[in-house]
Amino acid sequence: MAHVVFVSLFDEWCLGVRSMSTILRDKGHKTSVIYFRDLHSFNDTQGQGDPNGFHNPPGSVHSRDIEALIGHLRDLQPTLVGFSFMSNFHGLAIFLTQRLKKEFPSIPVIWGGSDPTVNPDQGIQHADYVCQGEGEEAILELTEALAAGTSTDSIQNIWAKTPDGHKPNPPRSSEKDLDQYPYTDFDQTNKWYLHDGVLEFGVYPPKSHLHRNYPTLTSRGCPYNCSFCCNSNYRELYGPAKYVRRHSVEYVMKELEHRKETFPGLGFIEFWDDVFTFKSDWLHEFAREYKRRINLPFFAYTHPQMCKDEDLRVLREAGWEQTIMGVQSGSEEILQMYDRNMARQRMIDSAHLLNNIGVDLIVDLIGNNPMEDEQTMRETFEMLLEFPEDFVMHEVNPLAMYRNFPITRVAESRGLLGPMLEGRNAWLAEDKPEYHFWTAMWTLTQFNAL
């Protein structure tokens, strides 16, 4: 039996880690999951000024947390340590990996998550292994090879460090039948929350949604191919065939029934599919069974092009209370750049439909795009004025151009790409007053008194 310790950086939800943990535990291996800080710790400054800490927002870590992690790993004596992270924490992953290799040179380290998947060539410079893409079968095969002392050099989805450099193994086909996977591991008997130099066993961070909510996925992959999103890279990795896959409705119902039985305080479901509102026949079966068997309010993402009146109404009747709809821009020129080819009116109509049926709408936009001008930003403002009175604006985030993303290649071809942000594998446009002005104008449109 092997013991795999997963360290999730600033993400206690860590659905990918939980899925891999379930697979390993089902096969008789031991797993531990460490929530290294949490989602609500983004952009704090705990590590600033600490000579032995790490400070590179949004990740800032005091040395006491690092020492607590080292001490806990010393107690656990794992077979393998895995770091799961997004691009914003690339620098922190390097820092922690270097520290672990210094303390435990014989314990291999694997990286996984969106950033290592897109940039395995970088990851393998620091980790012993990089998991590129979905990891359930790959982590099981790697763990069993390590436990048996056999070769780990030829495992699909795994880039492996070798004495001569590294071996980039090809990706395996994405699993088509998601129902074969067991339910995601939310058992708290192997989880620790690390913060302020303290490891708390079996608890969630105090501000976490997980005290009341259950996040899950009914699907993998996105029907769309936005140039600023990691899904565009995943499509390049796996190819277009059967990239979007979905659990059966019966699987989803049984998973949620299991969670209701094991979590008496459950009050809300969060479906974090990239887009939930696709495939009408599935949605209607889901709505019918969900209302009958689960009957809890829920959140789910939608997309302006997947807002069919009859689909949205049955979901609302089943308990759909809140959605985030990515609009990104009101300029059709900019939408084409984002590979979101749709008419402006479609977004307006979808917003009104959601409002009419009583789903709370949160609108998501992208700001600080150096390829925009005053005209395109004004078009976004004018579009928002045609939205219904009752919507909420999500915080407008600047366009982050991550290494190897399609939108980043576009910016580079136009000579707009500067040095990557240290430790984040991303580039942000130079801040300008006009960005602040238009972000403020967009935000004001949510206040119907205006």
The pLDDT tens digits for 417-450 are 878 888 899 999 988 999 999 999 999 999 975 5
Q: What value does the mean pLDDT take over residues 191-218?
A: 97
* Same-domain pairing of 255 and 395: yes
Q: Which pLDDT does position 448 carry in this prediction?
A: 72
* Same-domain pairing of 17 and 157: yes
For residue 68, give every residue at least 6 positions away whose Cβ sits within 8 Å of its Cβ, in sequence order, or none.
Answer: 194, 197, 198, 199
Q: Which pLDDT does position 418 carry in this prediction?
A: 79
Mean pLDDT computed over every residue of the chain: 96
Question: What are the structure tokens assigned to 58, written together?
Answer: 């949004």
Number of domains in the chain: 2
* Same-domain pairing of 132 and 75: yes
Beta bridge partners of 421: 426
* Same-domain pairing of 175 and 222: no
DSSP state of 299: E
* Same-domain pairing of 122 and 229: no
More confident residue, 322 or 175: 322
Q: Is the pLDDT of residue 296 over 60?
A: yes
For residue 335, give every residue at least 6 positions away whose Cβ sits within 8 Å of its Cβ, in sequence order, or none.
Answer: 328, 329, 341, 342
Q: What value does the mean pLDDT take over residues 317-334?
A: 98
Q: Is the pLDDT of residue 236 over 90?
A: no
Task: Please state, in angstroms and rounded to a whole number, the distance separating the CA atoms of residues 66 and 70.
Answer: 6
- Return the amino acid letter for 413: S
Provide the CATH number for the domain around residue 106.
Answer: 3.40.50.2300
In a domain, 197, yes or no: no
Q: Which pLDDT does position 419 carry in this prediction?
A: 80
- Lowest-confidence region among 64-68, 84-88, 276-280: 84-88
What long-range pairs does 94-100 form, CB within 8 A, spacing at least 24? 94/126, 94/423, 95/54, 96/7, 96/36, 96/54, 96/66, 96/69, 97/126, 97/127, 98/126, 99/66, 99/70, 100/70, 100/73
In a domain, 100, yes or no: yes
Percent with pLDDT over 70 in the chain: 99
Which of 180, 196, 231 finishes a domain?
180
DSSP state of 448: T
Residues in the chain: 450
Q: What value does the mean pLDDT take over residues 49-57?
A: 94
Question: What are the structure tokens assigned to 293, written together?
Answer: 């068997």
In a domain, 250, yes or no: yes
Question: What are the structure tokens assigned to 113, written together?
Answer: 């998550």
* Same-domain pairing of 279 and 149: no
* Same-domain pairing of 104 and 26: yes
Q: What value does the mean pLDDT take over residues 238-253?
A: 90
pLDDT in tens, 110-151: 999 999 999 999 999 999 999 999 999 999 999 999 999 999
Q: Please answer whether residues 107 and 5 qualify as being in contact, where contact means their C-beta atoms are separated by less than 8 angstroms.
A: no
DSSP state of 329: -
Question: What are the structure tokens assigned to 124, written together?
Answer: 């393998």
In a domain, 202, yes or no: no
* Same-domain pairing of 140 and 236: no
Q: How many CB atoms lie within 10 A of CB 173?
A: 12
**Could you tell me the residue range of the domain that residue 36 belongs to?**
3-180
- Lowest-confidence region among 234-243, 257-266, 326-335, 386-395: 234-243
* Same-domain pairing of 168 and 217: no
Task: Please state, in angstroms and rounded to a whole number, the distance separating the CA atoms of residues 62 and 191.
Answer: 21
Helices (H) and strands (E) in the chain, counts: 15, 22
Percent with pLDDT over 90 in the chain: 92
Task: Please state, in angstroms and rounded to a whole number, the distance separating the CA atoms of residues 80 and 21.
Answer: 12
Task: Please state, in angstroms and rounded to a whole number, the distance separating the CA atoms of residues 27 and 93.
Answer: 28
More confident residue, 401 or 420: 401
* Same-domain pairing of 433 and 358: yes
Helices (H), 358-449: 374-384, 406-413, 433-444
Q: Which pLDDT does position 246 carry in this prediction?
A: 98
> Can you spell out the DSSP letters for 173-199?
PPPS-GGGSPPP---GGGEEEEETTEE
Element (H, E) at 92: helix 90-103
Q: What value does the mean pLDDT take over residues 226-233?
A: 94
Q: Which pLDDT does position 405 carry in this prediction?
A: 94
Sign of CA dihedral 235, 271, 278, 304: negative
DSSP state of 337: H
Q: What value does the mean pLDDT take over residues 88-99?
A: 97
* Same-domain pairing of 301 and 345: yes
Q: Which pLDDT does position 395 carry in this prediction?
A: 95
Q: Is the pLDDT of residue 240 over 80?
A: no
In a domain, 207, yes or no: no
Tokens 């049926």 appear where?
Answer: 357
In a domain, 32, yes or no: yes
Provide the CATH number for the domain around residue 392.
Answer: 3.20.20.70
pLDDT in tens, 153-183: 999 999 999 999 999 999 998 899 999 999 9
In a domain, 83, yes or no: yes
Which of 147, 193, 157, 160 lies closest to 32 in space, CA to CA? 193
pLDDT in tens, 369-384: 999 999 999 999 999 9
In a domain, 205, yes or no: no
What interhelical angle do 280-293 and 309-318 show, nearest 10?
10
Q: How far is CA 195 from the centre of its chain?
A: 21
Which of 180, 203, 232 finishes a domain?
180
Q: Which pLDDT does position 239 carry in this prediction?
A: 78
Q: How many CB atoms lie within 10 A of CB 299?
A: 21
* Same-domain pairing of 241 and 154: no
Q: Which pLDDT does position 449 carry in this prediction?
A: 54
Tokens 């795009």 appear where?
Answer: 369
Which of 160, 180, 200 finishes a domain?
180
